[in-house]
Each structure stands twice: as structure tokens, then as C-alpha cells.
């Protein structure tokens, strides 16, 4: 694909909708990276999560607060302890899901918590989004994962990152700077 086609695809999609990113910009699982043209930094943090799901978060917090007040209306100190405990769990979950991926022509740097990994772009095989269907209280939910496949000692290593707290504009830019070509079925079997 040339750059003009990539730019027109990027302008026509809703960058806040993971389903649309998955359907229109995503690379195939069975593709090989040919070229990386440019730099991109993809961050996953709480600010992106709050921006993407602010109305759902407000509704859930109100429901939890109403249930806590109704249940423990005679003992307000228990409500305070429950709120502190839930905030601590929320912050711990958010911290464990934060990461930063920097990709340029020479290397891929991944920072997760206190770990830093650098991978040479020559060993990168492909980058793609995967979708898995889950159920939450009998409600079907699709979970999207950013998958990075690279080769280490002739063994493919797949790293999967959740996209719930990701900057979606940077995700679209990641797929636009990575050029891939499909692998034929005969080559996949090897």
C-alpha cells in the first residue's frame, strides 16, 4: 500500500472505535513485516482509560456508591473503608496494565512496570490485533489484544497487550507505519 492510500484509510476511520480499527487497519496474523517507516510511541495508562470509558465509569461508580450507602447506612466508617479498598484495587489493576511501546526503524522498546525490553526490528515477524469473545454476567464482550510476534532462536514469541487503556490514535499510527505482506498458505506450514 502506498502512503496516499494509508492516509485516506486513516482519515476515514473512527479512531475511538476498536472494532473499526480491527476491521480496517489491522494486519493479518499471517503476514510478515516488510518495512517500518517512521516512529511511533503507544502508551497505555489510566488517562486513556478514563477518556475512553468515562460515562460507563461514572455509572458503575454511582451504582457502587448507592449500594454501599444503602447496605451500610448505619455505619459510615465501613463505607469509607470499602471505598478506600476499592480505590486501592482499582489503582493496582491500572498500574499493572500500563505499558509503553516505542517502535522506530531500528528497534522496538517495551516498558512494562519496571521491566524494559529491546527487540531488533529485524527479528520482528508481525504486529496485529486479535479479538476474543468473553462473557460478563451473560453479556458478550469483545476483548481486543495487541499482539507482537518476534523470532528468538528460530522460535516465534508472541507478546499480547490489552488495548483497554491504550491511546487509539497511536495504535492506528502503529499500523500505518508498519508495512506487511501476506504469507502464502504453503509458507505458513513450514
CATH of the domain at 162: 2.30.29
The last residue of one of the domains, among 25, 60, 94, is 94
Task: Identify any residues that bridge with 40 across adjacent strands, giving them in sequence order.
Answer: 103
User: What's the mean pLDDT in 17-45?
Assistant: 78
Q: Are residues 76 and 124 in the same domain?
A: no
Query: Any idea which of 52-56, 101-105, 149-153 has the lowest mean pLDDT?
Result: 52-56
The pLDDT value given to residue 1 = 42
Q: Are residues 90 and 105 in the same domain?
A: no
Q: Are residues 152 and 167 in the same domain?
A: yes
Q: Are residues 183 and 103 in the same domain?
A: yes
For residue 174, pLDDT beyond 80: yes
Q: Are residues 78 and 116 in the same domain?
A: no
Q: Are residues 107 and 169 in the same domain?
A: yes
The pLDDT value given to residue 131 = 83
Q: Are residues 87 and 102 in the same domain?
A: no
User: What's the mean pLDDT in 117-137?
Assistant: 84
Query: Any idea which of 13-22, 23-32, 61-70 has the lowest mean pLDDT?
Result: 13-22
Q: With 0-12 CB in 10 A as exposed, 13-18 as middle and 19+ as buried, what is 70?
A: exposed
Q: Are residues 75 and 153 in the same domain?
A: no
How many distinct structural domains can be found in the chain? 2
Q: Are residues 104 and 88 in the same domain?
A: no
Q: Are residues 58 and 39 in the same domain?
A: no
The pLDDT value given to residue 23 = 72
Q: Are residues 115 and 33 in the same domain?
A: yes
Q: Are residues 83 and 33 in the same domain?
A: no
Tell me the C-alpha distance between 140 and 153, whole Å: 39
Which residue segment(s) compose the domain that 167 sits in? 3-45+98-189
List the one residue out of 110, 113, 94, 102 whose CA is nearest residue 50: 94
Amino acid at each position: 500500500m502506498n502512503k496516499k492510500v494509508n492516509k485516506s484509510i486513516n482519515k476515514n476511520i473512527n479512531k475511538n472505535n476498536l472494532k473499526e480499527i480491527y476491521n480496517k487497519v489491522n494486519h493479518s496474523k499471517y503476514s510478515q513485516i516488510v518495512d517500518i517507516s517512521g516512529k511511533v510511541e503507544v502508551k497505555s495508562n489510566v488517562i486513556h482509560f478514563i477518556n475512553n470509558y468515562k460515562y460507563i465509569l461514572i455509572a458503575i461508580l454511582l451504582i457502587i456508591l448507592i449500594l454501599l450507602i444503602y447496605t451500610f447506612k448505619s455505619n459510615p466508617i465501613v463505607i469509607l473503608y470499602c471505598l478506600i479498598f476499592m480505590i486501592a484495587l482499582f489503582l493496582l489493576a491500572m498500574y499493572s496494565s500500563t505499558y509503553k511501546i516505542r517502535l522506530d526503524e531500528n528497534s522496538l522498546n517495551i516498558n512494562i512496570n519496571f521491566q524494559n525490553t529491546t527487540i531488533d526490528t529485524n527479528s520482528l515477524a508481525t504486529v496485529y490485533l486479535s479479538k476474543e469473545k468473553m462473557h460478563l454476567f451473560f453479556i458478550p464482550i469483545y476483548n481486543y489484544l495487541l499482539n507482537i510476534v518476534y523470532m528468538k532462536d528460530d522460535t516465534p514469541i508472541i507478546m499480547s497487550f490489552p488495548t483497554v487503556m491504550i491511546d487509539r490514535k497511536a495504535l492506528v499510527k502503529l499500523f500505518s507505519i508498519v508495512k506487511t505482506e501476506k504469507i502464502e498458505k504453503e509458507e505458513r506450514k513450514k
